[in-house]
Structure formats: C-alpha cells, structure tokens
Amino acid sequence: MNYVLAIDQGTTSSRAIIFDEALKVVAIAQEEFEQHYPASGWVEHDVSDLWSTTAGTCRQVIERAGVSSGSIAAVGITNQRETVVLWDRKTGQPVHNAIVWQDRRTASLCAKLRADGHEDVIKEKTGLLLDPYFSGTKLAWILDNVDGARAKAEAGDLLFGTVDCFLIWKLTGGAVHATDATNAARTLLYDIHQGCWSEDICKLLGIPMSLLPEVKDCAAEFGHTRPDLFGRELPILGVAGDQQAATIGQACFEPGMLKSTYGTGCFALLNTGATPVASQNRLLTTIGYQFGGRPTYALEGSIFIAGAVVQWLRDGLKIIREAKETQPLAESADPEQSVILVPAFTGLGAPYWHAECRGAIYGLTRNSGPAELARAALESVGFQTRDLLEAMHADWDAEAGGQVLRVDGGMSASDWAMQFLSDIIGAPVDRPEVLETTATGAAWLAGMQAGVYPQMEEFARDWSLERRFKPSMPEDVRDKKYAAWQRAVKATMQA
C-alpha cells in the first residue's frame, strides 16, 4: 500500500493527515499553537511553534496510522498564505516572529504607497491590491525595523519565505529554498503574468532579490525530508497555498467553477482558466494552480472574519461553549428582529478593503439576546459571501454569480448557515462528502506527482456530493435583508 502524508500548516493549528491509495483519510493529528498580539492589529506566530507543531503532528500521524515511513510515497504541503518568515540561511534562526496574514501594521505604508500612485502597477503585475494582508510590505517592515536585518539581507545572509517555503527548507535540512506559484502569487512581489519575481516591485519596497525562493509548479520536486525526521527520506512532491489547495480538493478545474472555504476567514475562488481577469470590483487576481509551467488563474474574494465570528461568540461574549451551539440558538432567534452584525474586527476585506474600520451591531432592541446575536453572526458570513459573488458576477460573466457554490471548512458543517447562504446568494450550495478538501488537495498534488493518484479528470470525477442546499427564501425577503446588510456596511465604514 502507498500512502501520502499531507501537511496543513494553518493560522491557528498545524495538522498532518495520512491518506491511503484511494485518497481516503487514514489518520489525523492536530496541534494548536499560541497567537501573539504584540499591539493592536498586530498578529505574530513564534516560528519555532510553526516548525515544532508541523514536525510533531507528522510524527504523531505516522504512528497513529500505523504505517511505516517506507510506505509513504510522497509528502504534500498546504499552508496559511501571505504569512512572512525571514531567517538566517546559515543558522536557520528567524530574525523576527512570523508576521501573520491578518496583521495590519503596514496599513500606513500601504496608504502611502497608494497615495504616491503605486497601486495600479502593483495591481497590474501581481493581481493584488495595496493592503497589509499581503507579504511584501510585512517583509519590508522587518527589514526596516529589526536591527541589522537589512545589512544581513544585503549581504545575502537571509532567506524569505511564506510558511510552505520555510517548512520545505526545514524539512530538507536547508537543502531547498523553494515555493510554489500559488504561494508566490500572494507575496505582492510576484508577476503573475510573466511568472517571475518583479524587479520593479522589489526595488519599490526595498527588498533584495537574493532573499527570494525559487518558484515551482504545484506538483514538482521540492526535495526530500531529512532522513532522521521520519526514519527515511520522503519526497516532497506537492505544494499549494491553503485556499488554492481547497480549490483543487473541490475539483474546481473548469472555468466558472467556484468554491468558498469557511475557516477563520472565508475565501471564495472562481476558476477563470488560462486568462487572468483584472477585477474592476476590488477582487484579487491570483494563480489557482500551476502545472507544466502553465498557470490557471482565479478571481479571489477574501473575507477576514467568518468562523472567527463564532469564536468571538464563544471566547469574547461567552454566549456559547461550543461552535455547534450556534445553530440551535440561531434557529430560536426572534424572526421579528433584524439584528445585523458587521464583523469588521480587523477591518473589512474584499470587496471593501477598509483596513481601519471596526465591527458594529445594528438593530438591537431590549429583547435582543444571545439567539439574535448568534443568528446575526451566522448571517454575516452569508452576507459577506454574497458581496464577493456580486463582485465576481460583475467582473467575469453573467454565470459566475448565479451558479453552484461548493463549500468546505468548519462552518460548512452547519446546515443552518449553509441554508441561509443558499437563500441569500439565491443559488445552490454544494457540500461535498469529504470536508477535508484543503488537505485532500495537497495530498492529491503530491500523490499524483508520485503516480499514486489519478490525473485531474479522474480525480474530478470522484468528487462526490453529500448535500445540496437550494434557495427557498422569497426573493423580496432576500432583497430586503441584503439591502439592510449593505446599509449596515456603509454605516460601519463611515463611523
């Protein structure tokens, strides 16, 4: 039997999953790690946590699955994207904590670059916007704020990577400094049309190009793991950023196919095929996946707070103990009340890109309580998804906003939330049988490259539906609700 080990290094935890020859999950190991918030709007990870939880969960899952490392044919990696690691190429020591994708510390740098007229060229080359979300300005911040970092970088002593790249470097014992095209496409430094790092943007941000990794296809040779880690060398053969891996795991391989993943945030990707579509509606143009040196592009809408709003109900308001309590609470909410929560806890992402605004609640009455707040929290995820689909619809073609949405991620387990989603977008929502789509995507990339798993067409045929949610909300109610949401967002951005 051939197995594949998938590593999913996420924002709040690291996971390792063993898949069998039929691409079925055999065992999972997961470890959470600490989030560091050194200042308002700043989010960091201790780089040693990223490594120790990754290596630890890999060892655990191999043991739990009861497989020998000799039967693992390949390793696939998927990861939280945009998060920046900068380390010393000789000692392996990071020069700073990892600056996480959610971190807003470079908002003023982005505003300055925008005011100086640089957004258009950045957008044209990278498909992204000038927002602190992406890696480039975070990397510039480290070089400008950590003593001696710039001098070391200029001397060629430092290496930059998104988390995949850092893990590849660690797993291979420093032998390989490489990333894949989907992760490179999130850095603000990569020209998605030319398929190379942009000299102009690196110059603009003051980033020495010697820091940058080699960029490969998603299914490629990324080196071998150190033999002492798992008992023998294992080939790393697949890499993709987590949202792209989910797009692959959802088998969204045809132009027009669309998926939305509900984790901490929500990320919707629409496959636009070989053509990069420049968004007129503040969506991102990104690489969905790349094989044989040929990128397939996607339009992406990124929302920063989705599942995190349920965490806030649990840890902040303490009105639930577990995420699954949200559903019965929402069901019991008073239908007469229209409480709207705009969860702009860290500003708003697509399509608004408002880094400075903060969350707000509207429509409270004396009878509003935990049930109405829970419903408003779940509804906010549906409303935000509709915002993204409206923008996609306007950018691409008439079909994009009205067709089936494939969903995955923690919150997709909630029937209530998925029914509301279908109601508010007015389109079917498909939940697949396998909800481990991100890890499945990474495993398939590696296993396909190793010759264990089938090629794309056959893999896509095996995707199977668990449940389709169909819209049942009357159109006038849908329109009224969505209009109320739009008013609430406008007021939040103006507050």
What residue ranges bind ligand G3P (CB under 6 A)? Answer: 10-11, 80-82, 101, 241-243, 263-265
Ramachandran bin of 16, using left for φ above 0, alpha for ψ from -120 to 50, beta for the remaining angles: beta
- Residue 69 labelled as part of a binding site: no
* Two tokens, residue 310: 């349920």
What's the half-sphere exposure (Cβ side, CA atoms, 13 Å) at 170? Answer: 25
Helices in 127-263 by DSSP H: which ranges?
135-145, 149-154, 163-171, 181-184, 199-205, 227-230, 242-249
The nearer residue to ligand G3P, 250 or 264, going by C-beta atoms, is 264
- Residue 59 labelled as part of a binding site: no
Q: How far is the CB of 197 from ligand G3P (least distance, A)?
A: 20
Q: Using DSSP, state whether 275 is helix, strand or coil.
A: coil
The answer to whether residues 102 and 174 touch, using CB atoms and an 8 Å cutoff, is: no
Q: How far is the CB of 331 from ligand G3P (least distance, A)?
A: 27
- Residue 226 labelled as part of a binding site: no
- Residue 369 labelled as part of a binding site: no
- Residue 14 labelled as part of a binding site: no
Q: How far is the CB of 299 from ligand G3P (least distance, A)?
A: 15
Tokens 């939305």 correspond to 260
* Two tokens, residue 274: 């070989």
The answer to whether residues 235 and 74 touch, using CB atoms and an 8 Å cutoff, is: yes
The nearer residue to ligand G3P, 103 or 157, going by C-beta atoms, is 103
- Residue 11 labelled as part of a binding site: yes
Q: How far is the CB of 344 from ligand G3P (least distance, A)?
A: 17
- Residue 243 labelled as part of a binding site: yes
The answer to whether residues 440 and 433 touch, using CB atoms and an 8 Å cutoff, is: no
Q: Using DSSP, state whether 386 is helix, strand or coil.
A: helix
The nearer residue to ligand G3P, 54 or 80, going by C-beta atoms, is 80
d(Cα 26, Cα 19) in Å, to the nearest integer?
5
- Residue 82 labelled as part of a binding site: yes
The answer to whether residues 228 and 222 touch, using CB atoms and an 8 Å cutoff, is: no
- Residue 422 labelled as part of a binding site: no
The answer to whether residues 277 and 123 touch, using CB atoms and an 8 Å cutoff, is: no
Q: How far is the CB of 158 from ligand G3P (least distance, A)?
A: 23
d(Cα 290, Cα 303) in Å, to the nearest integer?
24
43 φ, ψ to 5°?
A: -140, 125
Residue (of 218, 268, 217) closest to 387 by Cα position = 268
Q: How far is the CB of 470 from ligand G3P (least distance, A)?
A: 27
d(Cα 445, Cα 448) in Å, to the nearest integer?
5
d(Cα 148, Cα 113) in Å, to the nearest integer?
24
H or E segment and range at residue 268: strand 266-273
- Residue 12 labelled as part of a binding site: yes
The answer to whether residues 160 and 211 touch, using CB atoms and an 8 Å cutoff, is: yes
Q: How far is the CB of 485 from ligand G3P (least distance, A)?
A: 23
Q: How far is the CB of 438 from ligand G3P (least distance, A)?
A: 7
Which residues are part of a known binding site? Answer: 11-13, 15, 81-82, 133, 242-243, 264, 307, 311, 410
Which residues are part of a known binding site for ATP? Answer: 11-13, 264, 307, 311, 410
Which residues are part of a known binding site for ADP? Answer: 11, 15, 264, 307, 410
Which residues are part of a known binding site for glycerol? Answer: 81-82, 133, 242-243
